[in-house]
Amino acid sequence: MSDQIYQKIQEAQLDEIFSKPYDPELGEKLYNPQKPMENRITDIGPPYYAQFFPPVIKKNYGKWKSHEIVQPGVIKYTSETGDVVYAVRCGTPRLITTDYIREVCEIADKYCEGYVRWTTRNNIEFHVTDEETLRNLLEDLKNRKHPGGSYKFPVGGTGASVTNIVHTQGWVHCHTPAIDASGVVKAVMDDLFEYFGSHKLPAQVRVALACCLNMCGAVHCSDIAILGIHRKPPLVEDDRLEYVCEIPLVVAACPLGAIKPATVEIDGKKKKTVRVNEQRCMFCGNCYTMCPAMPLADGEGDGIAILVGGKISNRVSPPKFSKLVIPYIPNEPPRWPTTVKWVRKILETYAQHARKYERLGEWAERIGWERFFELCEIPFTEKTMDDYRLAYDTYRTSMHFKFTSHVEIK
Amino acid sequence: MSEIKKHDTQMVSELKSGPWPSFVDDIEQYGEKHKKQACFDLLGQLELSYKHKETHWKHGGIVGVFGYGGGVIGRYSDQQEKFPAIWAFHTIRVNQPASKFYHTSALRKLCELWDNRGSGMTNFHGSTGDMVLLGTTTEQLEPVFFDLTHQMNMDLGGSGSNLRTPSCCIGKARCEWSCIDTQELCYDLTMTYQDELHRPAFPYKFKFKISGCPNDCVAAIARADFSIIGTWIDDIRIDQEAVKAYVGGELKPNAGAHSDRDWGPFDIQKEVIDLCPTQCMYWDGEKLHINNKECNRCMHCINVMPEALRPGTDTGATILMGAKAPILEGAQLSTVMIPFIRLEPPYDELKEIIENVWMFWMEEGKNRERLGELMQRVGLANFVEIVKLKHIPQMIREPRSNPYVFWKEEEVPGGWKRDIKEFRERHPA
């Protein structure tokens, strides 16, 4: 074990720069547009991590022995030194203002000596070392609400729960989305709220949302993935394309070779542009990423696909991809009722039928996907059959199947 | 300060109700208090998107800070007249401290900076791990960068065709299962490769993600071109008394993860032994026996009985490569490249491998070709050879089922140069 790293962590000191007041005018004073290199500091990287460790975390680095979830959202860690720390996990909407962060700071200053942590799944973790502070913190968190009545810091997301949804930017801040992100997440989590703060499921259920096929986030390996899709081929803006796009790059960007260069005449002038073989388009949007003159977004065309059964952990079975089970649900702002309904249906069918420890994908594989469709009452369509690369891997080439309602027996 | 203008946001406002934290309430409250028009314009534009079911952000926009090719993402509204305060609304990615611990003094100062120079809205955090400052104008980019570097000792993260901000799990800071110092490695790689992070020279994005054990809490195997996942090569540590306590019902299985449902009494045979993917363990009524040689370290038994079982102490990591989301050739998980490597500073062996991979990818990779796609294009066996590794069965799930081997001339006795006349002397046509 690297004593050297342990030692370095013990010696870490909170950078004094953070206690110096912020100077709102310093940026203008130091930056000289005429001499952009003047006063410029580059490549200093992120702050050293260990300066932000709470004392108990620092002291027990590498010495943790075991843990126990004492109630949903509260994990107690025990160290070989005999020290304990309670981590209190709260959900957040990820899209948060500086005032929300200040409120997090206020809580951390009051109960946690000024330290706080965020998780990979947009949860906040507060660390306390004694039960009385823990009780006071939990009580405090419960009473913090927004004017509309929502909790600011719901406690949960541990064990066999639905933890926070990792998601993307959607219509709030992205240029290629087929759906919103924050709104859909809010609607789904409102509905699944009881599963965030409890341990009722057979195993943890990881829900993720990506607002287009670029998938900024690991939706492709989630128990339930909500994915924004387009269904109309790109428009081609002939009069603008040659000025804003590199035609060879656009042609090369299409994974199915459906785009070819073309020349058109507009007002007697020849313009270089492209043509799309619409029959071959799979609506991936890669052309639009390369070329702003080929927008795909369409209120009627766009919507949600649901994929299920993926996982990251190596536990019991290897990591696996999520599989497409519902090819399309229309966009239904502001509360996406059909999407919410199907996510709940899939979750509760799984909760009812799966065995303890079984992840959603493991359950679906054990009972067979034909049974999954039957139990979840999801109509099976040809769109779930793969016809892209490596599709053959998904074909059934054995006699091992079940006679579900899909089989017509005459 | 001029009066703020609120828009009709009937649909968006419906997202204030319900128990889950409402981003709408948060943004509205903040906008009121700080008199930020951008907050109301953002909600107004979102309402318009809810009406049209389409985004109202324009395509791209190249902006940045001098000398860097990433870290800032340009964003412009296509509704300049209606929502002037968000007309230019660029994103700034700030490199997070490894595993995202903070002190409030740092967060409060960052908040002040962002109130002063931006919208006050953030993503905590972006998918890759950065602190994302959401929404400012082009004139503010340099001052924000100067504030970050001079007043915060912080720097920008990655975007575009460069090294993306590395990220890691909580590691040994609070997890008994971590087999490696995830934060230290993450920090070291981030500092070593600052140039690659800030100045795009790659065919496409490249991600490092570091998890301490095969539970893989940062999804390294699904998201990273270069996945580093902690593991061990010796025996699982067993506390037989604690095993008995689980069997006797004194300890809660899976650390209490199933506490709100009655699953019946704990059954070690059914819940641990029978679920072991390698069937390498048995319970004789008194003692738990593990044939560690056959264990594939899936973590299930350890997850179920954390008081009783722990990973071994001879630890290191497995290196896997090539994961990516579906665009373009379909989603890929990372492939095992190095089953075991010890990871101690200064990580020279690891860095040599990383640089070999980059050298090949930068030479051979096509524009916007992720490492995983290049690996497929050249074939796994060739890739392994090019990056100077050894071919071993751990790299594949099963042997190929077709016989189409690309034999090389030097592998066949006599080579490929043959004389057709000689052949015909033996075999008249």
Distance separating alpha carbons of residues A165 and A217, to the nearest angstrom: 11
Arithmetic mean of pLDDT, A335-353: 98
Sort out which chain A residues have CB atoms less than 8 A from B12's CB and list them.
183, 334
Of A57, A146, A186, the CB nearest to B173: A57
Tokens encoding A300: 């009627």
Cβ separation of A115 and B147 shorter than 8 Å? no
Sort out which chain A residues have CB atoms less than 8 A from B100's CB and list them.
117-119
Q: Which is nearest to A156 in space by CA: A40, A223, A75?
A: A75
Distance separating alpha carbons of residues A68 and A86, to the nearest angstrom: 9
One-character DSSP codes across A42-106: ----SPPGGGGS-HHHHHTTT-EEEEEEEETTEEEEEETTS-EEEEEEEE--SEEEHHHHHHHHH
User: How far apart are the CA of A349 and the nearest CA of chain B, in angstroms?
Assistant: 16
Distance separating alpha carbons of residues A197 and B248, to the nearest angstrom: 28
Identify residue A254 by its one-letter amino acid code. C
Which chain A residues in 284-313 lie under 8 Å from chain B, judged by CB atoms?
284, 286, 288, 292, 295, 297-300, 302, 312-313
Convert B271-303 into a string of H (helix), E (strand) and C (coil): HHHCCCCCCCEEECCCCEEECHHHCCCCCHHHH
The pLDDT score that the predictor gives to residue B163 is 98
Q: Examine the pLDDT at A1 and tell me if it is beyond 70.
A: no
Convert chain B into a string of H (helix), E (strand) and C (coil): CCCCCCCCCHHHHHHHCCCCCCHHHHHHHHHHHHCCHHHHHHHHHHHHHHHHCCCCECCCCCCCCCCCCCCEECCEECCCCCCHHHCECCEEEECCCHHHEEEHHHHHHHHHHHHHHCCCEEEECCCCCCEEEECCCHHHHHHHHHHHHHHCCCCECCCCCCECCCEECCHHHCCCCCCCCHHHHHHHHHHHCHHHHHCCCCCCCECEEEECCCCCCCCHHHHCCEEEEEEECCCCEECHHHHHHHHCCCCCHHHHCCCCCCCCCCCHHHHHHCCCCCCCEEECCCCEEECHHHCCCCCHHHHHCCCCEECCCCEEEEEEECCECCCCCCCECCEEEEEEECCCCCCHHHHHHHHHHHHHHHHHCCCCCCHHHHHHHHCHHHHHHHCCCCCCHHHCCCCCCCCCCCCCHHHCCCCCCCCHHHHHHHCCC
User: Which of B10, B14, B20, B43 best probes binding to A when mutated, by most A CB atoms within 10 angstroms?
Assistant: B20
Cβ separation of A61 and B173 shorter than 8 Å? yes
Sort out which chain A residues have CB atoms less than 8 A from B42's CB and list them.
172
Tokens encoding B154: 């912080």
Would you give the distance in Å from CA B256 to the centre of its chain?
28
Is residue A153 a contact partner of residue A89, using CB atoms and an 8 Å limit?
no
Arithmetic mean of pLDDT, A43-62: 98
Of A62, A118, A249, the CB nearest to B172: A62
Identify residue B244 by its one-letter amino acid code. K
Is residue A322 a contact partner of residue A308, using CB atoms and an 8 Å limit?
yes
Strands A207-210 and A224-229: parallel
Q: Examine the pLDDT at A101 and tell me if it is beyond 60.
A: yes
A197 touches B: beta carbon within 8 Å = no
Tokens encoding B328: 């373009």
User: How far apart are the CA of A410 and the nearest CA of chain B, in angstroms?
Assistant: 38
A64 touches B: beta carbon within 8 Å = yes
User: Which contiguous run of DSSP H or E holds residue A156?
Assistant: none
Q: Examine the pLDDT at A143 and tell me if it is beyond 90.
A: yes
User: What mean pLDDT, rounded, does chain A reach?
Assistant: 96
Is residue B207 a contact partner of residue B164, using CB atoms and an 8 Å limit?
yes
Angle between helices B23-34 and A182-191 (to 10 degrees): 130
Q: Residue A104 CB: number of other CB atoms within 10 A?
A: 24
Q: Which residues pair with B91 in a beta bridge?
A: B73, B134
A235 touches B: beta carbon within 8 Å = no
pTM higher than 0.90, yes or no? yes
Of B33, B117, B219, the CB nearest to A312: B219
Identify residue A49 by its one-letter amino acid code. Y
How far is the CA of B38 from the CAs of A385, B49, B86, B109, B255, in angstroms? 45, 16, 6, 21, 46
The pLDDT score that the predictor gives to residue B35 is 96
Q: Examine the pLDDT at B1 and tell me if it is beyond 60.
A: no
Of A52, A97, A218, the CB nearest to B97: A52
Distance separating alpha carbons of residues B254 and B266, to the nearest angstrom: 10
The pLDDT score that the predictor gives to residue B199 is 96
- The alpha helices in A245-336, defined as continuous H runs, are 247-253, 286-290
Sort out which chain A residues have CB atoms less than 8 A from B59's CB and list them.
175-176, 288, 292, 295
What one-character DSSP code corresponds to residue A145?
A: B
User: How far apart are the CA of B33 and the nearest CA of chain A, in angstroms?
Assistant: 9
Would you give the distance in Å from CA B391 to the centre of its chain?
26
B146 versus B330: the higher-pLDDT residue is B146
Tokens encoding B307: 């008081």
Tokens encoding A139: 């009580």
Of A30, A117, A175, the CB nearest to B59: A175
| Dihedral pair phi/psi, residue A69, rounded to 5° | -85, 105
User: How far apart are the CA of B348 and the nearest CA of chain A, in angstroms?
Assistant: 15
Distance separating alpha carbons of residues A327 and A373, to the nearest angstrom: 13
A13 touches B: beta carbon within 8 Å = no
User: What mean pLDDT, rounded, does chain B reach?
Assistant: 96
A362 touches B: beta carbon within 8 Å = no
User: Which contiguous run of DSSP H or E holds residue A307?
Assistant: strand A303-308
Asked which of A158-162, A401-405, B94-98, B236-240 is least confident by mean pLDDT, the reply is A401-405
Of B39, B101, B344, the CB nearest to A49: B101
Sort out which chain A residues have CB atoms less than 8 A from B24's CB and list them.
148, 186
Strands B121-124 and A224-229: unpaired
Question: Residue B2: which pLDDT band, with cuts at 50, 70 and 90?
Answer: low
Q: Residue B104 CB: number of other CB atoms within 10 A?
A: 23
Of A52, A255, A313, the CB nearest to B101: A52
The pLDDT score that the predictor gives to residue B382 is 95
Q: Examine the pLDDT at A37 and tell me if it is beyond 70.
A: yes
Determine the residue of chain B that is closest to A167 in CA distance. Answer: B127
Sort out which chain A residues have CB atoms less than 8 A from B236's CB and list them.
none
User: How far apart are the CA of B424 and the nearest CA of chain A, in angstroms?
Assistant: 43
Would you give the distance in Å from CA B270 to the centre of its chain?
34
Looking up tokens 């019902």 gives B249
Question: Residue A92: which pLDDT band, with cuts at 50, 70 and 90?
Answer: very high
Looking up tokens 């799984």 gives A350
Exposure b/e, B332-356, CB count within 10 A at least 16 = b: bbbbbbbbebebbeebeebeebbee
Q: Which is nearest to A167 in space by CA: A197, A212, A198?
A: A212
ipTM of the complex: 0.96
One-character DSSP codes across A344-392: HHHHHHHHHHPPTT--HHHHHHHH-HHHHHHHHTPPP-GGGS--STTGG
Tokens encoding A184: 């859909």
Q: Examine the pLDDT at A246 and tell me if it is beyond 60.
A: yes
| Dihedral pair phi/psi, residue A155, rounded to 5° | -95, 130
How far is the CA of A5 from the CAs of A11, A45, A61, B178, in angstroms? 10, 19, 10, 14
Determine the residue of chain B that is closest to A10 in CA distance. Answer: B173
Distinct helix (H) and strand (E) counts, chain A: 13, 12
Cβ separation of A30 and B146 shorter than 8 Å? yes
pLDDT digit string, tens, across residues B264-321 = 999 999 999 999 999 999 999 999 999 999 999 999 999 999 999 999 999 999 999 9
Arithmetic mean of pLDDT, A37-45: 98
pLDDT digit string, tens, across residues B106-140 = 999 999 999 999 999 999 999 999 999 999 999 99
User: How far apart are the CA of B429 and the nearest CA of chain A, in angstroms?
Assistant: 42
User: How far apart are the CA of B338 and the nearest CA of chain A, in angstroms?
Assistant: 17
Q: Which is nearest to B93 in space by CA: B116, B57, B63?
A: B63
Strands B226-232 and B315-321: antiparallel
Q: Which residues pair with A78 in a beta bridge?
A: A66, A84
Q: Residue A317 CB: number of other CB atoms within 10 A?
A: 18
Distance separating alpha carbons of residues B301 and B266, to the nearest angstrom: 13
DSSP SS3 for A136: helix
Tokens encoding B240: 């037989």
Determine the residue of chain B that is closest to A352 in CA distance. Answer: B261
Is residue A247 a contact partner of residue A261, using CB atoms and an 8 Å limit?
yes
Question: Residue A108: which pLDDT band, with cuts at 50, 70 and 90?
Answer: very high
Looking up tokens 């990287």 gives A45
The pLDDT score that the predictor gives to residue A215 is 85
Cβ separation of B42 and A172 shorter than 8 Å? yes
* Length reported for chain A: 410
Convert A86-102 into a string of H (helix), E (strand) and C (coil): EEEEEECCCEEEHHHHH
Distance separating alpha carbons of residues A310 and B169, to the nearest angstrom: 20
Q: What is the largest CA-CA distance in chain B?
A: 100
pLDDT digit string, tens, across residues B75-89 = 999 999 999 999 999
Q: Which is nearest to B129 in space by CA: A41, A179, A166, A88?
A: A166
Sort out which chain A residues have CB atoms less than 8 A from B260's CB and list them.
72, 160, 198-200
Question: Residue A217: which pLDDT band, with cuts at 50, 70 and 90?
Answer: low
Is residue B144 a contact partner of residue B91, using CB atoms and an 8 Å limit?
no
A90 versus B61: the higher-pLDDT residue is A90
